[in-house]
Amino acid sequence: MANLFSNYIDGKWQPAKSSKTFENRSPANHNDLIGLFPASDAADVDAAVSAAKKAFASWRLVPAPKRGEILYRVGELLKQHKEELARIETCEMGKVLKETRGDVQEGIDCAFLNAGEGRRLFGETTPAELPDKFAMSVRMPIGVCGLITPWNFPLAIPTWKLFPALICGNTVVLKPAEDTPHTASRFFEILVEAGVPPGVVNLVHGRGEEVGAALVRHRDVQLVSFTGSAAVGREIASVCGQNLKRVSLELGGKNGQIVMEDADLELAVEGALWGAFGTTGQRCTATSRLIVHRAVAAKVTDALVARAEKIRIGDGLDERVEMGPLINQAAREKVLRYIEIGKQESARLRTGGAIQNSGNCANGYFFQPTIFDQVKPTMRIAQEEIFGPVLSIIEIGSFEEAIAVLNGTPYGLSSSIYTNDVTRAFRAMRDIETGITYINGPTIGAEVHLPFGGVKDTGNGHREAGTAVYDIFTEWKSIYVDYSGKLQKAQIDNN
Ligand code: NAD
């Protein structure tokens, strides 16, 4: 009998009202059935939203430091269960244990950061322009937040949204990705154990087009926070726009790493390998373009090809494995399509480019680490997000050209430059059009206390993490207290 999992609504674990379920299978071995999860619909979303709406009335009045105490307990429980959570994640998402442990650690860091913020959540006090008058601005919670998350960071991304939402006094309904429902269920058990009151957090499993879309459209959801593809993000933004609903979007990337001729090349190669093939290339911040100076291109490319061919592929639960599978069959087909596109565009396939299905890879969605060189900046493989282990190498002849190529895509999430020239490093920090820039580090590796997000088509101007995230989850209220005992008119009585 397969394990049967539930939604969590109004403090109760419950099946979908329709009783329908969907299967969750391991991407490393599709014979491994992890469990059956509720295939929910709009009726389940409605129940979850009304529970969250009811709970908001009291949760918003709990002092933020008290809400923080619960988040401290959540952080402690995540720490205690770190290994168990990492294994759950690896089983259903595929990335190697070393990385899923990092994903859980990000959730732990996020819990403690937000718990502490419960004693800050700073507003401003400022002098009023009239005598005997006091002025301040404070952050107010918004209400019911609909959180929709992808599968590539099945714990970290939900925590990035849910903890700031809660510390600010909001209540939430989470719709996790259908490829990684188990991590979300275990995360919710921990929230319950830590003492999050009924109705404050609600979990509804199911398909994006059904549950996600119903959440976005629900009139009692005041705010939608979405991380996922640009295509779905656009759709959600247009629905929210029609309804004048707040929406924050964290979307795709086509991140580039520049390697100048003066760089430490060994370091640059190591960075590119980690950036391109970590998480099997399925990070929004993955390095998918290497923009390398002509003078060192051959040396860098040869070193990368040699190292990529040695990457051990397999089940992420095996500690010796360095790269796990792609998430599902559709993802593997998409990567294969881009390999054909690259070849048709006359890029040169230097290594990889094929499904890996021999030996221990026979039953999963494995793919070889792939490198194209002779890529032109306008080719589709250099412009579109592939979301797999595919690196496109583009040669440039100058620093200015490198920056122009890096900026020449619709996306603007992460970027990196390897150089030992301080002038180039500072010009890059100024001129690269991305939300995140690394100097002498790969395009991946964000820390939770700095703003995270991108420019251009990567989002709609919001930032998660750090304290910037509170601008998503609160409204500013300006408050004036007049203790003069008379009517004072701003702009009129003050000259
Ligand atoms: P996706 O857009 O297919 O799905 C993301 C979530 O949206 C899932 O929970 C899905 O069920 C739901 N969804 C799908 N259709 C929906 C609809 N019509 N209405 C409402 N919800 C819907 O993305 P994915 O394949 O899960 O994730 C990969 C994408 O996410 C990549 O493009 C990647 O770059 C991006 N991503 C971005 C960041 C970031 O912070 N910028 C982080 C991780 C992933």
For a mutational test of ligand 1's pocket, the pick from 225, 229, 285, i.e. the residue with the most ligand atoms closer than 8 A to its C-beta, is 229
Cβ partners under 8 Å of residue 104, min gap 6: 78, 82, 85, 86, 89, 155, 156
Beta-bridge mates of residue 201: 172
Tokens of 126: 């400022």
| 471 within a domain of the structure (yes/no) | yes
Which residue of the set 91, 110, 145, 284 is catalytic? 284
Count helices and strands in the chain by DSSP H and E runs = 14, 19
Q: Which atom of ligand 1 is nearest to the CA of 179?
A: 26
Q: Which atom of ligand 1 is nearest to the CA of 228?
A: 30
Is residue 259 domain-shared with residue 272, that is, in the same domain?
yes
pTM over 0.85: yes
Q: Which atom of ligand 1 is nearest to the CA of 458?
A: 41
Q: Which atom of ligand 1 is nearest to the CA of 387?
A: 31
For 322-359, b/e burial (b = at least 16 CB within 10 A) is bbbbbbbeebbeebeebbeebeebebebbbbbebbeee
pLDDT at 9 over 90: yes
**CA–CA distance, 451 with 132 (Å, rounded to integer):** 38
**CA–CA distance, 16 with 7 (Å, rounded to integer):** 7
**CA–CA distance, 156 with 92 (Å, rounded to integer):** 15
Q: How far is the CA of 117 from the centre of ligand 1 (A)?
A: 28
Question: Whose Cα sits closest to atom 30 in ligand 1?
Answer: 228
**CA–CA distance, 432 with 406 (Å, rounded to integer):** 7
Is residue 212 domain-shared with residue 294, that is, in the same domain?
no
Q: Which atom of ligand 1 is nearest to the CA of 385?
A: 32
Matching residue, tokens 């960071």: 153
**16, 7 Cβ separation under 8 angstroms:** yes
Is residue 229 domain-shared with residue 262, that is, in the same domain?
no
Q: Residue ranges of the alpha helices (H) in 140-180?
A: 156-167
pLDDT in tens, 207-226: 999 999 999 999 999 999 99
Is residue 283 domain-shared with residue 169, that is, in the same domain?
no
Is residue 202 domain-shared with residue 156, that is, in the same domain?
yes
Q: How far is the CA of 453 from the centre of ligand 1 (A)?
A: 14
pLDDT at 44 over 80: yes
Is residue 246 domain-shared with residue 274, that is, in the same domain?
no
Q: How far is the CA of 31 from the centre of ligand 1 (A)?
A: 25
Average pLDDT, the chain: 97
Pick from 147, 67, 78, 83: nearest CA to 106 = 78
Q: How far is the CA of 483 from the centre of ligand 1 (A)?
A: 51
Is residue 377 domain-shared with residue 275, that is, in the same domain?
yes
Q: How far is the CA of 459 from the centre of ligand 1 (A)?
A: 12
Q: What is the pLDDT of residue 147?
A: 98
Pick from 191, 397, 373: nearest CA to 300 = 373
DSSP 175-194: E--TT-HHHHHHHHHHHHHH
Please compute the mean of the pLDDT values over residues 305-326 and round it to a whole number: 97
- For residue 6, name the pLDDT band (cuts at 50, 70, 90): very high
**CA–CA distance, 125 with 239 (Å, rounded to integer):** 36
Q: How far is the CA of 232 from the centre of ligand 1 (A)?
A: 7
Secondary structure letter of residue 196 according to DSSP: P
91 is catalytic: no
Question: Whose Cα sits closest to atom 20 in ligand 1?
Answer: 212
pLDDT at 25 over 70: yes
Q: What is the pLDDT of residue 1?
A: 75
pLDDT at 434 over 70: yes
Collapse the DSSP code of 124 into the 3-class scheme (helix H, G, I; strand E, B; otherwise coil) and give the result.
Answer: strand
Is residue 39 domain-shared with residue 176, that is, in the same domain?
yes
> What residues make up the domain containing 53?
7-251+459-479
| 444 within a domain of the structure (yes/no) | no
| 465 within a domain of the structure (yes/no) | yes
Question: Whose Cα sits closest to atom 23 in ligand 1?
Answer: 228
Please compute the mean of the pLDDT values over residues 104-118 and round it to a whole number: 98
Tokens of 484: 């003069």
Matching residue, tokens 């952050």: 139
For a mutational test of ligand 1's pocket, the pick from 147, 227, 386, i.e. the residue with the most ligand atoms closer than 8 A to its C-beta, is 227
Q: What is the pLDDT of residue 467?
A: 96
Q: What is the pLDDT of residue 64?
A: 98
CATH number at residue 232: 3.40.605.10
Total structural domains within the chain: 2
In a 10 Å sphere around its CB, with 0-12 CB exposed, 13-18 middle and 19+ buried, how is residue 79 labelled? middle
**CA–CA distance, 314 with 325 (Å, rounded to integer):** 7
pLDDT at 252 over 80: yes
pLDDT at 393 over 80: yes
Q: What is the pLDDT of residue 495?
A: 61
| 129 within a domain of the structure (yes/no) | yes
Q: What is the pLDDT of residue 29?
A: 96
Q: How far is the CA of 306 from the centre of ligand 1 (A)?
A: 33
Question: Whose Cα sits closest to atom 38 in ligand 1?
Answer: 284
Which residue of the set 92, 106, 250, 395 is catalytic? 250
Is residue 246 domain-shared with residue 259, that is, in the same domain?
no
Please compute the mean of the pLDDT values over residues 461-465 and round it to a whole number: 97
| 491 within a domain of the structure (yes/no) | no
- For residue 332, name the pLDDT band (cuts at 50, 70, 90): very high
Cβ partners under 8 Å of residue 160, min gap 6: 106, 110, 448, 452, 464, 465, 469
Is residue 214 domain-shared with residue 300, that is, in the same domain?
no
Is residue 180 domain-shared with residue 274, that is, in the same domain?
no
CATH number at residue 262: 3.40.309.10
**CA–CA distance, 24 with 354 (Å, rounded to integer):** 25
Q: Which atom of ligand 1 is nearest to the CA of 151?
A: 26
340 is catalytic: no
Question: Whose Cα sits closest to atom 9 in ligand 1?
Answer: 177
CA-atom Rg of the chain in angstroms? 24
For a mutational test of ligand 1's pocket, the pick from 37, 152, 218, i.e. the residue with the most ligand atoms closer than 8 A to its C-beta, is 152
Lining residues, ligand 1, CB within 6 Å: 148-152, 175, 177-178, 208-209, 212-213, 216, 227-229, 232, 235-236, 250-253, 284, 385, 387, 413, 458
Question: Whose Cα sits closest to atom 26 in ligand 1?
Answer: 150
Percent of the residues in the chain that have a pLDDT greater than 70, as a whole number: 100
| 274 within a domain of the structure (yes/no) | yes
| 485 within a domain of the structure (yes/no) | no
Q: How many residues does the chain have?
A: 495
pLDDT at 338 over 80: yes
**CA–CA distance, 161 with 250 (Å, rounded to integer):** 11
For a mutational test of ligand 1's pocket, the pick from 251, 452, 469, i.e. the residue with the most ligand atoms closer than 8 A to its C-beta, is 251
Please give the C-alpha separations between residue 487 and each of 125, 130, 132, 481, in angstroms, as whole numbers.
22, 11, 11, 12
Q: What is the pLDDT of residue 246?
A: 97
Is residue 134 domain-shared with residue 92, that is, in the same domain?
yes
Q: How far is the CA of 461 from the centre of ligand 1 (A)?
A: 17
**CA–CA distance, 104 with 86 (Å, rounded to integer):** 6
Q: How far is the CA of 228 from the centre of ligand 1 (A)?
A: 2
Pick from 40, 54, 32, 34: nearest CA to 6 = 40
Matching residue, tokens 């976005």: 216
| 487 within a domain of the structure (yes/no) | no
**CA–CA distance, 175 with 212 (Å, rounded to integer):** 6
Question: Whose Cα sits closest to atom 14 in ligand 1?
Answer: 208
